[in-house]
A and B are shown apart, each in its own frame.
Chain A
Amino acid sequence: MTSSARRLRAILGLSGPTALWLVVTVALPLAAMLVFSFLTVVPMGGREAAFTLKHYTDFFTRPLYLTNAWRSVRLGLEVTFFCALVGYPAAYVLARTIKGRWREALLLLVVLPFWSNSLVRTFSWTMVLNDNGLLARAVHGVLPFAPSFDLLYTYPAIVIGLMQAYLPYMILTCYISLQAIDDSLSEAAYSLGASRFDVFRRVILPLSLPGLVAGSILIFVPVLGAFMEPRILGGQQAIMLGTLIESQFTASFNWPLGAALGFIMLVIVLLIMGLFYPVLKKHISVD
């Protein structure tokens, strides 16, 4: 056997199974989804399907879809923004103030909640946020005459629940890029007469930007597609693009419409990625 034939066999043997697996579970399903999004019904059980653009035109003409798509995008942006606002300083403290075993332990603590069931965590917030919940009790314990407040089944409740779920991503990605910045760089900046603020704005922040961007994408994408958290924390008031898509598949069984809405969501994801692509390309290399 020639060496090039042996090479080919090795390549096929090693990555063929993965390729086949991903074709069946990723490539074909996405292709099918695209095709079905242009059909009147799913062509099964003898039903005749016809080509239609209706699902897409519906999206742009019926305010229900546009409003909810915007609500989803807004939710994604807000959750991402708050995660960055809260997470970046935490990552900064972890990477640049705390040293040694403490840093390792704290980092582990930040990441651990990942591994608890997200559903249960989300549900636990209902115990915290409702009028009888712990937050209200704590506040009333200190201020007995404070007005009663009930965050559960409101928009802020969804934001809080999602933030808790995705904050570790932001802390982790920012931490990784912050701790990679050599101390000598900020020392060099100080030696050139830069103030603490200058050093942060002109050295630390630009160099840690890739982590911030990576974290933002890791958060924005799943939040855009979130449906479980809005359902549990937002009740029926929280209709989002995600919950709309989900219900097409599980309740109203209009799969082609769901497929079309799914593709629109995908386009939004790609648009956002495209927006950040220059930064990503510059700083993050995919081997």
Chain B
Amino acid sequence: MKKTTSALSGLYLILILFFLYIPIIIMMIMSFNRSELYLLPFEFDLVWYEQLAQNGQLLGAARNSILIALVNAVLATTLGTMTALCFARYEFRGKRVLQGLLLPTLTMPWLITGTAMLLFFFWSGIGRGLHSILLGHVALSLPYVVIIVGARLRSFGVSMEEAAATLGANAWQTFWRVTAPLMAPGIVAAALFAFAISFDQFVISYFLAPVGTSTLPVQIYSAIRKGFTPEINAISTIIILASMILMIGFAYFSKFGGER
């Protein structure tokens, strides 16, 4: 009886994983299929990867995406870590307000966040462009960084820093020799997370991208609307493999699923 239950539950999980992975697997397979119309039988070909190498628009958008994601990761991680430290170490009157400011991007549809940014940036003269996309992505990533780094900070409490002080370390020494190394896994995880959020972000970028410049998701969207080409399957396959590596890295640093 016990055996059948666990066999059934295993089967159930496999079905769910199948559901989650069909589109991804199909996309990967089609990126290697010669037919442009996704016709079967499958004929292995690298033609879409070759065409991708010549598609300046797509590669340019990919470059923009990587650039923004990198700058976003650095900025959001730096600002967010500082904020997490501030939250963990101080009680102050504006704390509630700042926590309140971190909430909207987590709890509102991105559609609203994105259109609000578009309105304000356009009206105030900040305008559209890679810079305003970056502004938006950092705002989106900040709450996650604060949560991830904050959780890490809480996990070791203040006693480590107190111990360092009793041993004669000054504030600077305490930070660089104790706090920073202890926070490091959280910071790395947060940076990977911030990178991934930005790299995959479509809605905000869609509203803030000016004509002629775009990020990869925006470019893919317009390609889908115009008529999809399998080159997009090719670049997506590359991205998925890359982001899975990122994700596994994230899992490793955040000790996903408990201590190992």
Contacts and interface: CB of A to CB of B under 8 A. Distances in A.
A contacts B directly in the complex (CB < 8 Å)? yes
B165 interface: no
A273 B109 CA distance: 13
A112 B111 CA distance: 24
B101 interface: yes
A267 B150 CA distance: 30
Given A90-B16, A108-B256, A18 B23 contact: no
Contact of B243 (A116, A127, A167): A116
Interface string B215-235: 011001100110010001100
B191 interface: no
A23 interface: yes
Contact of A128 (B23, B117, B247): B23
A121 B24 contact: yes
Interface in B203-260: 203, 206-207, 216-217, 220-221, 224-225, 228, 232-233, 236, 239-240, 243-244, 246-248, 251, 256-258
A259 B119 contact: yes
B22 A128 contact: yes
B155 interface: no
Classify chain B: how many residues form its interface, as a range: 35 or more
Contacts of A111: 247
B44 interface: no
A271 interface: no
Contacts, number: 250
A30 interface: yes
Majority secondary structure, A binding face:
helix
B203 to A, nearest CB: 7
Contacts of A90: 12-13, 16
Contact of A116 (B22, B79, B236): B236
A194 B154 CA distance: 38
Given A86-B16, A117-B217, A269-B108, A25 B135 contact: yes
Which of B99, B115, B146, B251 gathers most chain A CB within 10 Å? B115
A168 B24 CA distance: 15
Interface residues of A, number: 87
Interface of A: 7, 10-11, 13-15, 17-19, 21-30, 32-33, 36, 42-44, 86, 89-90, 93-94, 97-98, 103-104, 106-125, 127-128, 134, 137, 164, 167-168, 171, 217, 221-222, 224-228, 231-232, 242, 245-246, 249-250, 255, 258-259, 262, 265-266, 269, 273, 286-287
Interface of B: 5-6, 9-10, 12-13, 16-17, 19-24, 26-27, 30, 38, 40, 79-80, 82-83, 85-87, 90, 92, 94, 97-99, 101-102, 104-105, 107-113, 115-124, 126, 135-136, 138-139, 142, 146, 150, 154, 196, 200, 202-203, 206-207, 216-217, 220-221, 224-225, 228, 232-233, 236, 239-240, 243-244, 246-248, 251, 256-258
15 contacts: A11-B92, A14-B82, A26-B104, A26-B105, A44-B122, A93-B10, A97-B5, A116-B239, A117-B240, A121-B23, A123-B232, A128-B26, A137-B40, A227-B111, A249-B207
